[in-house]
Structure 1
């Protein structure tokens, strides 16, 4: 084999290697966005990656906020917006899904709404129902004393008067449920509105690498 043909063969092999390397990450999607982090799906592998860190197949999260993320894929940077995950390559979206990253104190916080009014929920799988204090209920326009059923509940500091009410609708991300039971406690507790099992039991939920994933059942 001549020297010229040897160089040509080596150049051809290098070209094929380069093409294969560029196409290493075939499908990259951003399926969750948070300040300073993004949930990325690379060829079906999903992971929460903080800014400056590397995810599956060497994909680097350069920057991220609640609107978009800049990823470096195979050395090329581009901006990605939030995408819905798809099933088996067909253009049919999965069921409504919400990804929640751990926040302060290792808890899951999510902005939502109750009866059309905005509310910040603390996800609490130990709470039987959605729970809030009287002041929070008034801010949401809930006349719990007139429409609720009075009861007594046990709290960390003892017993407290409470009213059992039904919220017309509760929405978290793209998931909306109608007729959700809630408890309004007299006094300052709980200090945050709790997203309890009266909502969570009607959706599918799981934890995956520091991300709580909620998914509608239908």
Structure 2
């Protein structure tokens, strides 16, 4: 399953007398998704965009671009260019898979887990094996019953210390743990989504931290 976590890293560069905004949206092998002055461009190494931005190199960790004779390195983890300007609000961008689902990688209490965005889910929902792998303590969790596509099921209500997706980190997030292996992938429900701003642009789902 191909899921790409797309980060928004903004770099303000000077192109002649006109300021040009270049954002790294994602890395895909030897290609990189850039947003240049609001237009998304998927470039392969060696290609130049209509705006004059050339992708010199793309790896799984960074992209090197050339703008007006100036070479800059963009990464998904941290900015390295001196002219980098940090966005006022943390933002991530997710593209849909072949079924139209948005998936991403999250950190729950410091441990990694794949999640699928589900606006119909009231809270984040884990299956029991995933909860055990994440080290969630269910001994003091509140037993509850939840409604699923297969009927009423036993579950546990828990509060997560932290949930981090990209640069967005929330504390004390409500979740449920099902007593079986449903759902197969953890559902990113409204206990997280209702605390961020969401927007869709051209099929891309944008999550932004609130000030």
TM-score bucket (shorter structure): 0.7 to 0.9
2: CA distance between counterparts of 1:92 and 1:174? 11
User: Could you list the runs of 5+ residues in structure 1 that have no partner in the other structure?
Assistant: 1-21
Q: Secondary structure at the match of 1:105?
A: coil
Where do 1:120-159 residues align within 5 Å? 120-144=114-138, 146-159=139-152
**Which protein has the bigger helix share?**
1
Displacement, 1:58? 6.4
User: Could you list the runs of 5+ residues in structure 2 that have no partner in the other structure?
Assistant: 1-14
- Which of 207-216 and 65-74 deviates more? 65-74
Conservation of the 8 A alpha-carbon contact between 1:109 and 1:120 = yes
For 2:208, which of 197, 212, 215 is the aligned residue?
215
Displacement, 1:62? 7.5
**Which protein has the bigger strand share?**
2
Where do 1:15-34 residues align within 5 Å? 26-34=19-27
Residue 168 (structure 2) aligns with: 175
Q: Secondary structure at the match of 1:147?
A: coil
Conservation of the 8 A alpha-carbon contact between 1:132 and 1:184 = yes
Q: Deviations over 1:60-97 (max 9, x none)?
A: 767645422355768x8966414899xxxx95632111
Q: Deviations over 1:118-145 (max 9, x none)?
A: 111111111111001011000011122x
Flag the 1:48–1:204 CA change in 2: closer, same or farther, 3 A.
farther
Displacement, 1:188? 1.2
Structure whose CA Rg is larger:
1
2: CA distance between counterparts of 1:34 and 1:91? 20
TM-score by length of 1: 0.72
Conservation of the 8 A alpha-carbon contact between 1:100 and 1:109 = yes
